[in-house]
Amino acid sequence: MKNFYYILGTEINCTASELTEAYKKLTKKFHPDLNQNDNYFTERFKEISEAYETLIDPARRKRYDASLKQNGLYPLVKAPKQTFNLRPKNTDRIFTLMLLLITVVFGYYVYRSISGTKTIKANTTAIATHTTKHHKKKTAKAGITPIKAITPANRYAKTIKDTVSDKAPRPVQAVNKKPVNISTVPVVNTAGLNTGVLYAVSIKSNVTGVVDMRQSANYGSAIIKVVPAGSKVFVIEKGDIFYKISSDNIIGYVPKWTVK
């Protein structure tokens, strides 16, 4: 059973003038002419009109109060004030969909970040394992007992030592030759393809003294060459994190800061 006093926001013992005042206030908010093509406002206006027409007529109001008593709803101490949700239902749906979309996108980026981290760790572990096994096989064939496992620090130290001993400084001889424009010299990679050179530069490094040239623009990719600091290389392509270079006719990728 509908509570007409609740719909109008009045008390059960209100006067006719109070009913009329409440009715006028509600019709200004929920009149269909002010909110066309909206079923929510149309249904609320019907309830308000039905409640007012029942309670403003003394005879109908008397019968209505008797029905309330019969159903154990009379007397009511005080009816709560009328509160309607004026926000259209479509707005709630749009907001819910936007919130769901934001949640899905955020979850996707979190998943990608976690997956990318696991992939880099797995690739690094696989490379280290492969290098260690390869070293052990060579040692067994030569009949030499391995003294120490290969680590990144030992590999860098050995590379620096070999570079200093094998490539001793040679006297520079003056040669009268026509200057060559490096930007037009083609570089031949391992696949035999000609690639244009942007410029030539010397490799920079950190405290290790060498830079790892990788197969692709990714820290987790395989190392195809170790380039000593100060080596002259040719920049072929620039990237946000890695630059594509050519060193001794081998093409690979090094961090941007080493050649910038």
Strands of the sheet with 242-247, listed across from one edge: 199-202, 232-237, 242-247, 250-255, 210-214, 223-228
Give pLDDT tens digits for 79-100. 445 454 545 556 778 989 899 9
Q: What is the CA radius of gyration of the chain?
A: 42
Q: What is the largest CA-CA distance in the chain?
A: 123
* pTM attached to this predicted model: 0.30
Give pLDDT tens digits for 61-72. 999 998 888 877
pLDDT of residue 95: 86
Confidence at 20, pLDDT banded by 50, 70, 90: very high
Give pLDDT tens digits for 197-247. 889 999 988 888 899 999 999 888 999 999 999 999 999 999 989 999 999
The answer, yes or no, to whether residue 186 has pLDDT greater than 50, is no
CA dist., res. 14 & res. 7, Å (int): 13
Phi, psi of 251 (to 5 degrees): -105, 130
Q: Selecting from 1.10.10.10, 2.30.30.40, 1.10.3720.10, 2.60.120.380, what CATH number does the domain 182-258 have?
A: 2.30.30.40
Q: What is the CATH number of domain 4-86?
A: 1.10.287.110
The answer, yes or no, to whether residue 16 has pLDDT greater than 60, is yes
- Tell me the β-bridge partners of 244: 237, 253
Cβ atoms 256, 240 nearer than 8 A: yes
Query: Could you state, in order of their start, the residue ranges of all structural domains in the chain?
Result: 4-86, 182-258
Token pair 């696949």: residue: 191
Between the two ends of the chain, the Cα-to-Cα distance in Å is 81
pLDDT of residue 246: 93
Task: Say yes or no: do domains 4-86 and 182-258 share a fold.
Answer: no
pLDDT of residue 242: 94
Give pLDDT tens digits for 118-164. 666 666 666 656 555 555 555 555 555 555 555 555 555 555 555 54
pLDDT of residue 150: 55
pLDDT of residue 102: 94
